């Protein structure tokens, strides 16, 4: 009984700490709300070029369909991948961790009762909340203008639930993958080249540039073995119904397995990295 009574205040105290960190992170994001809003809105400009690009591709091919996609279907897919990427992309996370290791700022996580990965995750949640608070109206406006592109209409409630879960899992998966890349800085202080390679592979293999089911079968089989598809392609395909219902839940299970793998990998890398950390700078 005494152990339980002691444990409950400890849990409440920890939850209060994380809640405080979340509120402070939200306030920091809104200090420069003008710059943040402008950066958010500028991300919508590539929609126009991408739409014209795909219409040009269809016009040049002389076909009304490429595989299972019409021109409108590809545009709908691209807009959905934008939402997926907005959840899963973590700009600045890798380089931010590397900078803290190089400058010695990471020492504060060693002397204070705050977990590095937990702190970074909470601040990233705050970033996404601010992003969607600002981007909600532009997203709604774009989807309203392009509502006719969704040829199959809205999916059924179970598929909408699966779609929402895929976005949340995609956010967590994207965070822990990039956290692992950032933690490489314990061994190699400069990770810029590694981040560049990752972003390049992610752009092509996540399905952000084109639907992965347009790939040749041998290439698609290889790409489907990697976790990148869950960062953009998989949520969009779930919404559009290009994945069968049984495969949707199987895909979510695979995505969860990848997430657990990268959580464990990040924890191992952090513990091993701290053991060899020298604490210069700061």
Position with higher pLDDT, 114 vs 121: 121
User: Does residue 259 contact residue 267 with C-beta atoms inside 8 Å?
Assistant: no
Segment 185-195 shows an average pLDDT of: 84
pTM: 0.82
Maximum mean pLDDT: which of 67-71, 74-78, 111-115, 237-241: 237-241
Distance CA 170, CA 1 (A): 40
Position with higher pLDDT, 66 vs 223: 223
Tell me which residue of 210, 26, 198, 170 sits closest to 87, measured CA to CA: 170
Written as six digits, the tokens of 212 are 């992965």
The H-or-E segment that residue 24 falls in is: helix 2-31
260: confidence class by pLDDT, cuts 50, 70, 90: very high
Residue listed under structure tokens 């590539």:
46
Written as six digits, the tokens of 72 are 């409108």
**Percentage of residues in the chain having pLDDT higher than 90:** 21
């Amino acid at each position: 009984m005494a152990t339980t009574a002691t444990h409950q205040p400890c849990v409440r105290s920890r939850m209060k700490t994380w809640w405080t960190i979340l509120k402070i992170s939200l306030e920091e994001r809104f200090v420069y709300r003008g710059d943040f809003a402008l950066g958010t809105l500028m991300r919508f400009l590539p929609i126009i070029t991408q739409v014209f690009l795909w219409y040009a591709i269809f016009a040049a091919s002389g076909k009304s369909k490429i595989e299972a996609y019409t021109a409108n279907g590809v545009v709908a897919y691209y807009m959905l991948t934008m939402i997926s990427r907005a959840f899963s992309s973590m700009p600045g996370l890798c380089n931010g961790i590397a900078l803290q290791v190089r400058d010695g700022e990471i020492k504060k996580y060693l002397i204070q009762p705050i977990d590095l990965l937990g702190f970074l995750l909470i601040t990233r949640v705050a970033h996404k909340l601010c992003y969607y608070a600002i981007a909600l109206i532009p997203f709604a406006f774009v989807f309203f203008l392009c509502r006719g592109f969704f040829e199959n209409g809205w999916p059924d409630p179970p598929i909408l639930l699966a779609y929402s879960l895929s976005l949340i899992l995609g956010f967590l998966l994207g965070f822990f993958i990039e956290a692992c890349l950032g933690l490489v800085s314990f061994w190699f202080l400069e990770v810029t080249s590694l981040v560049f390679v990752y972003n390049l592979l992610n752009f092509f293999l996540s399905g952000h540039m084109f639907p992965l089911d347009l790939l040749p079968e041998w290439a698609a089989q290889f790409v489907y073995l990697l976790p990148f598809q869950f960062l953009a392609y998989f949520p969009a395909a779930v919404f559009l119904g290009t994945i069968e219902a049984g495969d949707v839940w199987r895909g979510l299970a695979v995505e969860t397995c990848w997430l657990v793998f990268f959580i464990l990998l990040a924890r191992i890398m952090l513990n091993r990295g701290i053991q060899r950390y020298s604490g210069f700078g700061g």
